[in-house]
Chain A
């Protein structure tokens, strides 16, 4: 059971030290959100959306919300994690680290920095986004984030501003028992283009808790590509709420790669709230040991002529467990919607388990929609074919598993990111197979 008093005392202590404490509207939003959290608590298996993902172990722990050290990470460590040809914004234990951040030359009209700084300088820009879910949060986690968020990235592109290089948001957590509450805002104006990589890494021996909220606005004709690369430490917990609002003719791509963490959950939602929007959601989860990985996605087609493509794959080994719930709602007004969804899972062990649920709800009559989900093992004919060419059984299996997963990496258009993903996937291969690739 969650100890509400523990959270309440921490909110009383930490609250006044959180960013924006002198802004009455922000303080009120935080206080309201905290009360909502106290009422809601963390979700339980009785909540339909959390039926297969238990956060009971997380709820029992006493995480610390007090600001933590900025010193746990060296410039060399960051250098190894940084992506080539990217703007780098670093957060250590949830706080922006100006010393480690490396922003390149930004074009006119591009604003990239920490959310805390924007709260200090121009709070009116973000009031609506930071108060919108104080009253009616999606669940206890979003309420908790609204109450406690400490920092995050603020990215805004004016009309027509296109950023050629991606923005790499690197969140590094080193302290045990820490509750890291990032809040990120990405806004692309009319015809703007931006690619953001939200990347989480953490120490393997620290049982911390990341609870992130990312809000995205894709303006008229804008293009936003958002990637979540989850490489939390193996005892870390990662909960994330990513939501996008799409204006007319906008294109939104979400790419989620889940590799780390003991427990991870990504809620990814987009609203195609104007005609002619395009959405692409792709994802890959690789779970082993006792890892639990959950993706809940939701695409709301609210207006006509929208297109959505969703493609998720999972590889499960050991006694791991994954959940995929892909909800696509075609509302009555969303005629001529074209929606496709697919989820394919590879089970490498008898003890691994996946719960996959495509959910297509159609309230318009002139639409083209399809979905499919598969759960299976490696193909025996493919293994035999490779063995008949001299490749041993273990290498054949590793090679086929790699090929299954690497398919998602090849769909990534950003070269430094794709290269990194391929390196990470190759890193999981046995030596003799690495030599082949």
Chain B
């Protein structure tokens, strides 16, 4: 589903990602963990297509296509979805309009007919129930005046309606109380499917108590410093990130020093 090879990215001339290699198969859930500033969010936004990132080397193949060649909207229509760490407020655009616009853009891209108003509403209502969200939120402006928890739920609601092939969740657990975390995690868990790949970007292990990943990767110094099974997340929880960072640093030094 997703193959990232030797991805190097700079922001304002500063290297942030320094050779990421990652393969995620359909049906898998991968967690990308790491300390603050390790490049986790950069990786998520590079995949979604935000401007301002310069790819200096490497490539990203998504479903057999070069992902980095596509503008953000085409990536979305091809089935890539990023749940934002900080969902953007859009005053004056009702939540339901965005959902409808997004879903129809994707359906049109796939050559499917647009959903009529009745079927669309039925679909959205079912997903609202799953996310334990009030229907009134549909008619409010996108994320405007939403609490932190409501914003995160709204991201997962969009994901549930759009049914992406590749879902990337950027720190979706941050700022959630334990009840909201449970709802969000259940929402993500319900999306797990053999046809879908899910990438969870997170600083803490606690989300992984609810969504058990197939693979865990630790990002440090702009690279994947360590990969393992779900037990790696538990080890990080007890030992912190220091030891992985130290290893990554040592490796980076030995490379700079040369043979």
Say whether B102 faces chain A, with CB atoms less than 8 Å apart. yes
**Partner-contacting stretch, out of B33-41, B76-84, B178-186, B190-198:** B76-84
A391, B88: Cβ atoms under 8 Å? no
Q: For residue A382, which residues in chain B have a CB less than 8 angstroms away from its CB?
A: 88, 90
Picked from B51, B92, B162, the residue with its CB within 8 Å of the CB of A389 is B162
The number of residues on chain B lying at the interface, defined by a beta carbon within 8 Å of a beta carbon of chain A, is 31
Picked from B93, B104, B109, the residue with its CB within 8 Å of the CB of A403 is B93
Picked from A387, A395, A399, A402, the residue with its CB within 8 Å of the CB of B49 is A387
Q: Given the known A-B contacts A382-B88, A403-B91, A406-B92, are A388 and B106 also in contact in the complex, defined by CB atoms under 8 Å?
A: no
A388, B49: Cβ atoms under 8 Å? yes
Tell me the minimal C-beta distance from B47 to chain A in angstroms. 10
Give the interface centre of A381, A386, A388 by most chain B CB atoms within 10 Å.
A388
Nearest opposing residue in chain A for B100, CB measure: A436
With the chains together, A386 CA to B158 CA distance in Å? 12
Say whether A384 faces chain B, with CB atoms less than 8 Å apart. yes
With the chains together, A403 CA to B93 CA distance in Å? 6
Say whether A376 faces chain B, with CB atoms less than 8 Å apart. no
Picked from A380, A389, A406, the residue with its CB within 8 Å of the CB of B76 is A389
B109, A385: Cβ atoms under 8 Å? no
With the chains together, A389 CA to B75 CA distance in Å? 9
Q: Given the known A-B contacts A388-B49, A388-B82, A390-B105, are A400 and B90 also in contact in the complex, defined by CB atoms under 8 Å?
A: yes
Picked from B76, B93, B97, the residue with its CB within 8 Å of the CB of A388 is B76
Say whether A63 faces chain B, with CB atoms less than 8 Å apart. no
Nearest opposing residue in chain A for B102, CB measure: A389
Q: Mark B133-174, 1 if CB is under 8 A from A, else 0.
A: 000000001000000000000000010001000000000000
B90, A403: Cβ atoms under 8 Å? yes
Say whether A407 faces chain B, with CB atoms less than 8 Å apart. yes
Say whether B55 faces chain A, with CB atoms less than 8 Å apart. no
With the chains together, A392 CA to B109 CA distance in Å? 12
Say whether B50 faces chain A, with CB atoms less than 8 Å apart. yes
B73, A384: Cβ atoms under 8 Å? no
Say whether A361 faces chain B, with CB atoms less than 8 Å apart. no
Q: For residue A393, which residues in chain B have a CB less than 8 angstroms away from its CB?
A: 71, 73
Q: For residue B87, which residues in chain A have a CB less than 8 angstroms away from its CB?
A: 385
B72, A388: Cβ atoms under 8 Å? yes
B92, A404: Cβ atoms under 8 Å? yes
Say whether A437 faces chain B, with CB atoms less than 8 Å apart. yes
Q: For residue B81, which residues in chain A have a CB less than 8 angstroms away from its CB?
A: 388
Q: Mark A397-420, 1 if CB is under 8 A from B, else 0.
A: 001101110110000000000000
Tell me the minimal C-beta distance from A154 to chain B in angstroms. 39
Say whether B126 faces chain A, with CB atoms less than 8 Å apart. no
B109, A390: Cβ atoms under 8 Å? yes
Tell me the minimal C-beta distance from B124 to chain A in angstroms. 14
Q: For residue A386, which residues in chain B have a CB less than 8 angstroms away from its CB?
A: 90, 98, 101
Q: Mark A2-33, 1 if CB is under 8 A from B, else 0.
A: 00000000000000000000000000000000
With the chains together, A385 CA to B50 CA distance in Å? 9
Q: For residue B105, which residues in chain A have a CB less than 8 angstroms away from its CB?
A: 389-392
With the chains together, A403 CA to B84 CA distance in Å? 22
Q: For residue A436, which residues in chain B have a CB less than 8 angstroms away from its CB?
A: 97, 100-101
Tell me the minimal C-beta distance from A432 to chain B in angstroms. 9
Say whether B43 faces chain A, with CB atoms less than 8 Å apart. no
Q: For residue B48, which residues in chain A have a CB less than 8 angstroms away from its CB?
A: 388
Picked from B88, B97, B106, the residue with its CB within 8 Å of the CB of A385 is B88
Tell me the minimal C-beta distance from A425 to chain B in angstroms. 11
With the chains together, A402 CA to B94 CA distance in Å? 12
Q: For residue B106, which residues in chain A have a CB less than 8 angstroms away from its CB?
A: 390
With the chains together, A435 CA to B97 CA distance in Å? 10
Nearest opposing residue in chain A for B92, CB measure: A403
With the chains together, A360 CA to B247 CA distance in Å? 62
A391, B101: Cβ atoms under 8 Å? yes
Tell me the minimal C-beta distance from A286 to chain B in angstroms. 15
Tell me the minimal C-beta distance from A111 to chain B in angstroms. 40
Q: Which residues of A contact B (CB under 8 A)?
A: 380-382, 384-393, 395, 399-400, 402-404, 406-407, 435-437
Question: Can you spell out 26 A-B residue pairs with CB atoms less than 8 angstroms apart?
Answer: A382-B88, A382-B90, A384-B72, A384-B88, A387-B73, A387-B76, A388-B48, A388-B73, A389-B101, A389-B162, A390-B76, A390-B77, A390-B106, A390-B162, A391-B73, A391-B98, A391-B105, A392-B73, A393-B71, A395-B101, A399-B101, A400-B93, A403-B90, A403-B91, A403-B141, A407-B92
Q: A388-B75, A403-B92 are in contact. List 18 more A-B contacts (CB 8 A).
A: A380-B51, A384-B72, A386-B90, A386-B98, A388-B72, A389-B76, A389-B98, A389-B102, A389-B162, A390-B105, A391-B73, A391-B98, A391-B101, A391-B102, A395-B101, A400-B93, A404-B92, A407-B91
Q: Which residues of B contact A (CB under 8 A)?
A: 48-51, 71-73, 75-77, 81-82, 84, 87-88, 90-93, 97-98, 100-102, 104-106, 109, 141, 158, 162
List the 4 shortest-distance A-B pairs measured between CB atoms, nearest first. A403-B92, A390-B105, A390-B76, A385-B88
